[in-house]
Chain A
Amino acid sequence: GENVGLHLPTLSVQEGDNSIINCAYSNSASDYFIWYKQESGKGPQFIIDIRSNMDKRQGQRVTVLLNKTVKHLSLQIAATQPGDSAVYFCAENTGGFKTIFGAGTRLFVKA
């Protein structure tokens, strides 16, 4: 069935280091993937997305990599800052309006 999951529930990094958050998905028909950031007491916030015809997309300090061969998605955050501390969800769009969220990774940034 459809399943989007994360390899690590928590990730702790030193301020200034790069962070890598991983995600596995199982529906090979999915063609749109999104990373969301959720801070405490807030709704999820869009970070970056990628469609299945691409394998890499870059934003400001963030990069998403998509490996369709092994159904793997990753989010790289460069020069991680304390404000990056949050829960990060990968999400999979199975076509149209249905988006399925992965379990989430909590990122802690140590000063």
Chain B
Amino acid sequence: DTEVTQTPKHLVMGMTNKKSLKCEQHMGHRAMYWYKQKAKKPPELMFVYSYEKLSINESVPSRFSPECPNSSLLNLHLHALQPEDSALYLCASSQPADEQFFGPGTRLTVL
């Protein structure tokens, strides 16, 4: 299985809602990533988990809260988001310093 899956595919939420994005991989990768991608822009790194521990937080606002329950799962908890947080949220996984495998993304719209 060389696939990274993400759910949901689309999400619309209000600024007072709490929602979660989910990501799963079964390739035995020890690193998992969250990226944010705005239209016509490159992916921007948000968080990196390595060996289930948060190793990189790119100064992401606290309204985004990552969680890595186990080596195959990665969640991104969302609370009190702003309209400018609307974007494609990509999950990826890899072995250290190796190619990253990306999921299809969750298209998030904040109203």
Partner-B contacts on A (CB < 8 A)? 32, 34, 36, 41-46, 49, 89, 93, 95-104
A97 touches B42 (CB 8 A): no
B42 touches A89 (CB 8 A): yes
Q: Chain A's nearest CB lies how many Å from the CB of B13?
A: 20
The 5 closest A-B pairs by CB, nearest first: A43-B102, A101-B42, A97-B48, A46-B99, A44-B102
Q: Chain B's nearest CB lies how many Å from the CB of A53?
A: 13
Closest to B94 in A: A97
Q: B60 on the interface (CB 8 Å rule)?
A: no
A109-B105 Cα distance, complex, nearest whole Å:
25
A43 touches B48 (CB 8 A): no
Q: B64 on the interface (CB 8 Å rule)?
A: no
Q: B81 on the interface (CB 8 Å rule)?
A: no
A103-B105 Cα distance, complex, nearest whole Å:
19
A41-B31 Cα distance, complex, nearest whole Å:
24
By a CB distance below 8 angstroms, the chain B residues around A98 are 45, 48, 56
A97-B95 Cα distance, complex, nearest whole Å:
9
By a CB distance below 8 angstroms, the chain B residues around A44 are 43, 90, 100, 102
B105 touches A97 (CB 8 A): no
By a CB distance below 8 angstroms, the chain A residues around B48 are 97-98
Query: What sequence of 0s and 1s flags, for each residue 50-79 of chain B, a beta carbon within 8 Å of any chain A beta carbon?
Result: 100001100000000000000000000000
Given contacts A44-B102, A104-B42, contact A97 B97 (CB under 8 A): yes
By a CB distance below 8 angstroms, the chain B residues around A99 are 45, 100
Q: Chain B's nearest CB lies how many Å from the CB of A70?
A: 22
Given contacts A32-B97, A89-B42, A104-B42, contact A97 B102 (CB under 8 A): no
A100-B90 Cα distance, complex, nearest whole Å:
14
